[in-house]
Amino acid sequence: MKIGRSSGILLHVTSLPGRYGIGDLGEESRWFVDCLAEAKQKLWCVLPLGPTGPENSPYQCRSAFAGNPLLISPQELLRHGYLSRKDLQSPPVFSPSRVQFPEVGRYKESLLEKAFRQFSENRDYEAFERKNRSWLERFALFLTLREANGGVPWNRFDAAIRPKPERVRYHKFVQYEFFRQWHALRKHCQLRNISIMGDMPFYVEHDSADVWSHPELFDLDKRGEPRTVGGVPPDYFSSDGQLWGTPAYRWDRMEEAGYQWWVQRFRAVLQLVDFMRLDHFRGFEAFWSVKANQSTARKGHWKKGPGAQLFETIRRKLGDLPFIAENLGIITPEVEELRHQFGLFGMAVLQFAFDDNGIHRPNNYVPKLVTFTGTHDNDTTRGWWNALLRTARGHSRSAEHAKVNRVKCYLQNDGRDIHWSFIQAILTSVAEIAVMPLQDVLGLGSEARMNLPGRAKGNWRWRFERKQITPALLQRLGELTEVSGR
């Protein structure tokens, strides 16, 4: 992975401002890319782009290959001739600070239905269909059958219900438009010298086109229900661990098939981004297996993953591996050996630096590292600091009080503008890549947190408004970035 000393901002597309209730791939995305360039950033880091399930998590998608229809820009549909100005005259009044997913979903669906009625297949569409034949038809068929079956999971589909060809065609059109808009946005990034860091979840959702199409590759019983599911044991984020509910892989069968599904998956994601973070990288070496009937992730055990064999296959088929290994949490020497074997960047998170003196503390960084002030799973830096102060208040001999003192001593900061001290610490470090969530650049508190691991509902909703990004803010970030040699 060759990018050089650089920095960027972590912001999922859904969090962008705009009139239509959710960030999208249109004008606001291009404006944000221009802001990145003005602030001398080189990276835009996004979360997975797939079609999300009932709780809107980008890490639990209906497909490992498809794009999220909610990210399609109505303005781009208008510009392309699929909608009229009248269609967009009076959108519902949406919250500017929170994504109202059900309302946004209904509104976007109505616009996409109108756009489809104006669509006629052309050479671009035919080329898209040919290029994505390995997954597109099955994904569109899966969604069509799911609709016809009232939204029940695939293993409860009524075999007597036949799919309507026009609905299959509609879902293929939606994917065509998503990818058309995404590639136009990526071209805008390239013109501004902005690279995109993507993110790939380790598991896929049970109720997905992938599991429906390839049930033999997943640990399912005769009814198609998961026998074992993925998660992690108790950790920093949750005392019960995290139980994701996603079916575990049958790695033996994937090996027999030459890891073809993984080769296709990696190839598809790398056509969208310049390099990507591999979420839950440690699962490739060993994964936490929990019986599906458990209510928490406490009662599980580690099972061996595919290890080097998978990455050797990927490298042989696809060439260079522009991957960042998410090596947070319970990491063993075997996991680090796997990462080093393939020359993958690791991660450090500054919020973790004051619990120990490990790799998360900048004085222990190495160049081949991506450092974050915090990730999408962390509280914002200001929220984290305020919570730490509240816990430490009145307990002068507590661990939290000692931690407050360590932060102040290390950063030489009394707590004011703590987010800028965090940003300065990672930008001036030796880590080749430094990443800041936009919430930290804006100095926002816990109200702007994106995700709380272990909480099933209410995540992924945060949005910001254009006015929050000011010329002075971009100048400050740009000057600090420049003086840090990024």
Cβ atoms of residues 94 and 100 within 8 Å: yes
CA pair distance 20, 423, nearest whole angstrom: 32
What's the Cα-to-Cα distance from 185 to each of 33, 386, 464, rounded to whole Å?
Answer: 9, 37, 20
Point out the catalytic residue in the list 28, 76, 205, 377: 377
Backbone phi, psi, residue 40, to 5°: 65, 30
Q: What end-to-end distance do the CA atoms of the chain give, in Å? A: 16
What's the Cα-to-Cα distance from 318 to each of 121, 192, 270, 388, 443, rounded to whole Å?
Answer: 31, 27, 10, 45, 40
The edge-to-edge listing of strands for the beta sheet with 323-325 is 323-325, 275-278, 195-200, 43-45, 6-10, 433-437, 369-372, 346-349
Point out the catalytic residue in the list 326, 379, 432, 440: 326
Residues 6 or more apart whose CB falls under 8 angstroms from that of 253 comprise: 216, 217
For helices 418-427 and 471-483, what crossing angle results, to 10°? Answer: 40
Q: Is 377 a catalytic residue?
A: yes
SS3 of 52-99? ECCCCCCCCECCCCCCCHHHCCHHHHHHCCCCCHHHHCCCCCCCCCEC
**What CA dihedral angle connects 200, 204, 210 and 215, to 10 degrees?**
140
Class of residue 87 by CB neighbours under 10 A (exposed 0-12, middle 13-18, buried 19+): middle
Cβ atoms of residues 482 and 40 within 8 Å: yes
Cβ atoms of residues 32 and 11 within 8 Å: yes
Spatial CA neighbour of 168 closest among 208, 129, 114: 129
Residues 6 or more apart whose CB falls under 8 angstroms from that of 474 comprise: 35, 38, 39
Point out the catalytic residue in the list 279, 379, 432, 440: 279
Any idea how long the chain is? 486
What's the Cα-to-Cα distance from 393 to each of 350, 352, 405, 408, 445, rounded to whole Å?
Answer: 22, 20, 12, 15, 18
CA pair distance 377, 379, nearest whole angstrom: 7
Cβ atoms of residues 5 and 486 within 8 Å: yes
| Residue whose pair of structure tokens reads 């600070």 in the numeric block | 97
Number of H helices, E strands in the chain: 17, 12
| Residue whose pair of structure tokens reads 């033996």 in the numeric block | 252
Q: Is 279 a catalytic residue?
A: yes
Q: What residues are labeled active site?
A: 279, 326, 377
